[in-house]
A and B are shown apart, each in its own frame.
Chain A
Amino acid sequence: GAGVSQTPSNKVTEKGKYVELRCDPISGHTALYWYRQSLGQGPEFLIYFQGTGAADDSGLPNDRFFAVRPEGSVSTLKIQRTERGDSAMYLCASSLGILGEQFFGPGTRLTVL
């Protein structure tokens, strides 16, 4: 079956702009996660959804970052007033439940100029 997909694969934007990153999880997976991975580092947790609600958003770095999952499937990570420090690989993952292994998408590489 289809895995987790993320679009776009690459996004280049200018400082101060708004961006949206999309994640399509594996069908039937109720849990969805967003991570950020900087060069030479492991993925860092941003936010986790169980169904439509954000069960844990403690990893979001500040209020410029927001994510939604309105119908419990596709999720969008939104970043306002982007800064150069936001440049990273943004990874999405989904799992059947909180204890299941997480299946990762290929990521969106965000570059803020």
Chain B
Amino acid sequence: AQSVAQPEDQVNVAEGNPLTVKCTYSVSGNPYLFWYVQYPNRGLQFLLKYITGDNLVKGSYGFEAEFNKSQTSFHLKKPSALVSDSALYFCAVRDSNSGNTPLVFGKGTRLSVIA
């Protein structure tokens, strides 16, 4: 069965500093990986995905993520954090070898960017 781990409940970073939100996954086949962001009282918004190809994926709002197969990781990064990036971030995975399986989400990481 597929699973996702987001080891940090909370990440605090100063505005202008680089940020990293960690995600590791477990699937039996090849992973399809996604990052979503959730603002208060709003639905989840898609940030980026990795299906195949380049390991470095660029997404919305200046975010990027690096797929690392040997470490089974897909960490979310941004070179310079903004206060407006403060939100709840979710990593999700699907197993490409298991037919039409649903997304499995991590429990989320709350990012707080301090001015």
Contact = CB atoms under 8 A, between A and B. Distances in A.
Interface of A: 4, 33, 35, 40-45, 48, 50, 55-56, 59, 91, 93, 98-99, 101-107
B106 interface: yes
Nearest to A98: B100
A91 B105 CA distance: 13
20 contacts: A4-B43, A33-B103, A41-B107, A41-B108, A42-B105, A42-B108, A45-B103, A45-B104, A48-B102, A50-B100, A56-B100, A56-B102, A91-B43, A93-B44, A98-B100, A99-B51, A101-B46, A102-B34, A103-B46, A104-B36
Given A4-B43, A91-B44, A59 B108 contact: no
A109 to B, nearest CB: 9
A41 B44 CA distance: 13
A45 B102 contact: yes
Nearest to B88: A42
Given A33-B102, A40-B108, A48-B102, 10 more contacts: A4-B43, A41-B108, A42-B90, A42-B105, A43-B90, A43-B105, A45-B103, A99-B51, A103-B46, A106-B41
Contacts of A42: 4, 90, 92, 105-108
A56 B43 CA distance: 22
Contacts of B34: 101-102
Contacts of B108: 40-42
Nearest to A9: B41
A59 B60 CA distance: 30
Given A91-B43, A104-B36, A104-B44, A40 B49 contact: no
Contacts of A103: 46
B102 A59 contact: yes
A104 B41 CA distance: 13
A43 B44 contact: yes
